[in-house]
């Protein structure tokens, strides 16, 4: 992550004083759901779950993993789940005064379920059922681990 | 494969280049301010930041990418019915979701999911956000789990490199941003939904016509192959599986076919490029034997 740019972005928005004195970097969870883990690895024990828009403070970095505090717990998440943008949820008071921009993102805005529903109404020939079904296929990490072991897959580095 | 219906999705969208975005937003905020949708202060801050949003693609969040990917996948699956075999689909997802952990983008808004399309055509598509569709014809080009892993890693590579989203015409982004600027934090009004849906339909059409009809630029395919090699090696699969698959594909592709014959560089060209990369990388051969039994068992459903 480009920390300098992040701080610059925040200062442009008038948050610089608060953030600089606290000396912490805040980031937001940009995926629907993710797990906070004890170690920087997908094999690490899950400490708690984080959801879209949750704010975390960065403690340290190890490769592509960040040690963060979020949901009152400390643990590790992969960098792909985080964004330096502040994600403003619909219920947030800030949602009344901000618009989406390079530094902010309003959750649920733009292409969303309303737009998908309108698309469905316009294109009845397109069936979303197989997509809904495939999205439910989630192989538990324990099974993936067993699968790798059985197949003698010797993984190295990466997002492990 | 008849894809006329896909291209029929194309809609005429008001094309406005990114350079005009600032102007548009001023008009948009002016209207919104006049109608009381936003305050004068909000209008000011929006107009100030509009220049920054010239990089409109940056405003496309993983959440929006997720909705685009769902509709791209649904559109493709309306032309190619799913091949519902539970054990084979579970096997495909186990290999695919394992591989995704080793990509540079292991997590997406909705995660990686894999499905088989019931067609003898040799095809595979990576819808933005991680929905990956692979045809029966493509699976028939795979003679080992490592070859299958090669196919899936290539598709994961397309997602990691954002190739689907890059196919979206910039004008769609401007339409999205303009609508967002005008509506601020209010709930979407009906007319905004209609306008956004037009930009959405345009985006879906841009992506599907690129993936299904014209194919990505050759360099994107080579980039995805390169990303695949990295993913395969990290995961412990032999990257030579991808080469074996391409060798089979070369035998099975029918000239003039509306599949990889049309949308991808010739398998031989891809093999040549891959061989250049592999001389620089260690060959993590691993044990094919340990994986062959479960591969053969799963592929019996094919």
pLDDT beyond 60 at B3: no
Which has the higher per-residue pLDDT, A104 or A12? A104
Q: Which residues of B80-111 are buried (b: 16+ CB within 10 A; e: fewer)?
A: bebbebeebbebbbbbbbbbbbbbbbbbbbbb
Cβ contact, residue pair B291, A158, below 8 Å: no
Quick one: average pLDDT of B185-202?
Answer: 78
Cβ neighbours of residue B234 under 8 Å, at least 6 residues apart? A155, A156, A157, A158, A159, A160, B102
Residue A14 has pLDDT above 60, yes or no: no
Class of residue A19 by CB neighbours under 10 A (exposed 0-12, middle 13-18, buried 19+) = middle
A101 contacts in chain B (CB < 8 Å):
46, 49, 52-53, 59
pLDDT tens figures, A101-131: 557 777 888 899 999 999 999 999 999 999 9
CB contact under 8 A, B55 and A102: yes
**Which residues in B lie closer than 8 A to residue A160 (C-beta atoms)?**
101-102, 234
- pLDDT digits 0-9 by tens, B261-270: 999 999 999 9
Name every chain A residue with its beta carbon within 8 A of the beta carbon of B201. 119, 122-123
CB B235 within 8 A of CB A159: no
| Tokens, residue A110 | 């733009």
Give the pLDDT confidence score for residue B54 in this predicted structure: 43
CA proximity to B182, closest of A87, A102, A100: A100
Give the count of alpha carbons within 13 A of B94, CB side only: 22
Residue A140 above 90 pLDDT? Answer: yes
* Residue where the block lists tokens 């972005």: A9
pLDDT of B191 above 60: yes
Chain B CB within 8 Å of residue A36 CB: no
Lowest-confidence region among A88-97, B80-89, B149-158: A88-97
Question: Which DSSP string corresponds to B260-287?
Answer: HHHHS--HHHHHHHHHHHHTTS------
Q: What pLDDT score was predicted for residue B65?
A: 96
Give the distance from CA A60 to its chain's centroid.
Answer: 17
In this structure, what is the dihedral angle of CA atoms B176, B182, B188, B190, given to the nearest 10 degrees? Answer: -90
Strand duo A104-106 + A86-88: pairing: parallel
Q: Indicate the pTM of the whole model.
A: 0.82
| Average pLDDT over all residues of chain B | 82
More confident residue, B43 or B258: B258
Whether the per-residue pLDDT at B17 is higher than 70: the answer is: no
Bridge partners, residue B82, by sequence: B117
First to last CA, chain B: 20
For residue A138, which of A28, A45, A35 has the smallest C-alpha distance? A35
Contacts of A154 in chain B (CB under 8 A): 236, 284, 286
Q: What is the rounded CA–CA span in Å between residue B83 and residue B87?
A: 11
CA distance B84 to A35: 30
| Range with top average pLDDT, B148-152, B171-175, B195-199 | B148-152
Q: Which of residues 41-100 of A touch B (CB under 8 A)?
A: 42, 52, 64, 78, 80-81, 83, 85, 87-88, 95-100
* DSSP line for B155-196: HHHHHHTTHHHHTS-HHHHHHHHHHHHHHTTSPPPHHHHHHH
A153: nearest CB among B42, B201, B236? B236
Query: Closest Cα of chain B to A23: distance in Å?
Result: 26
d(CA B28, CA A37) in angstroms, rounded, equals 44
B253 DSSP assignment: P
Between CA B272 and CA B282 the distance in angstroms is 17
Tokens in use for B137?
């014809």
Q: Using an 8 Å Cβ cutoff, are B235 and A158 in contact? A: yes
* Residue A9: pLDDT band with limits 50, 70, 90: very low
Q: What angle do CA B174, A115, B192 make, to 5 degrees?
A: 55
Per-residue model confidence (pLDDT) at position A94: 59
Closest Cα in chain A, distance from residue B253 (Å) = 27
Residue A22 has pLDDT above 50, yes or no: no
What is the predicted pLDDT for the residue at B35? 42
* B49, B64, B200: residue with CB nearest A119: B200
Residue of chain A minimizing CA distance to B116: A134
Q: What is the rounded distance in angstroms from the CA atom of residue B29 to the CA atom of residue B40?
A: 9
Asked if A157 is an interface residue toward chain B (Cβ–Cβ < 8 A), one would say: yes
């Amino acid at each position: 992550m480009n920390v300098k740019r992040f701080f610059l972005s925040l200062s442009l928005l008038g948050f610089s004083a608060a953030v600089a004195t606290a000396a912490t970097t805040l980031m937001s969870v940009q995926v629907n759901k993710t797990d906070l883990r004890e170690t920087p690895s997908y094999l690490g024990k899950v400490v708690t779950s984080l959801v879209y828009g949750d704010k975390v403070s960065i403690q340290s970095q190890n490769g592509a993993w960040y040690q963060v505090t979020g949901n009152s717990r400390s643990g590790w998440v992969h960098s792909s789940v985080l964004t330096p943008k502040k994600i403003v949820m619909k219920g947030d008071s800030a949602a009344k005064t901000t618009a989406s921009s390079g530094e902010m993102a309003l959750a649920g805005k733009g292409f969303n379920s309303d737009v998908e529903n309108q698309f469905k109404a316009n294109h009845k020939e397109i069936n979303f059922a197989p997509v809904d079904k495939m999205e439910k296929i989630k192989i538990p990490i324990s099974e993936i681990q067993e699968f790798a072991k059985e197949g003698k897959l010797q993984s190295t580095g990466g997002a492990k | 494969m008849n894809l006329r219906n896909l291209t029929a999705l194309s809609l005429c969208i008001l094309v406005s280049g990114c350079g005009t975005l600032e102007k548009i937003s001023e008009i948009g905020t002016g209207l919104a301010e006049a109608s009381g949708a936003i305050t004068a202060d909000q209008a000011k801050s929006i107009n100030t930041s509009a220049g920054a949003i010239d990089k409109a693609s940056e405003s496309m969040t993983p959440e929006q990418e997720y909705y685009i990917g769902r509709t791209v996948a649904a559109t493709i699956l309306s032309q190619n019915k799913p091949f519902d075999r539970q054990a084979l689909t579970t096997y495909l997802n186990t290999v695919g979701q394992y591989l995704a952990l080793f990509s540079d983008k292991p997590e997406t808004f909705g995660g990686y999911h894999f499905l088989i399309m019931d067609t003898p055509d040799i095809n595979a598509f990576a819808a933005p956000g991680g929905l990956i569709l692979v045809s029966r014809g493509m699976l028939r080009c795979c003679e080992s789990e490592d070859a299958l892993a090669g196919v899936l890693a290539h598709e994961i590579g397309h997602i990691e490199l954002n190739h689907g989203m890059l196919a979206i015409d910039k004008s769609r982004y401007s339409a999205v941003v303009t609508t967002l600027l005008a509506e601020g934090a209010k709930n979407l009004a009906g007319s905004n939904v209609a306008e956004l849906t037009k930009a959405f339909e345009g985006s879906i059409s841009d992506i599907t016509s690129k993936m299904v009809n014209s194919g990505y630029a050759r360099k994107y395919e080579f980039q995805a192959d390169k990303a695949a090699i990295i993913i395969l090696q990290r995961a412990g699969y032999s990257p030579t599986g991808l080469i074996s698959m391409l060798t089979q594909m070369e035998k099975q592709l029918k000239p003039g076919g509306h599949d990889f014959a049309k949308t991808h560089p010739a398998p031989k060209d891809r093999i040549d490029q891959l061989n250049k990369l592999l001389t620089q990388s260690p060959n993590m051969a691993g044990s094919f034997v340990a994986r062959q039994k479960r591969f053969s068992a799963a592929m019996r459903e094919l």
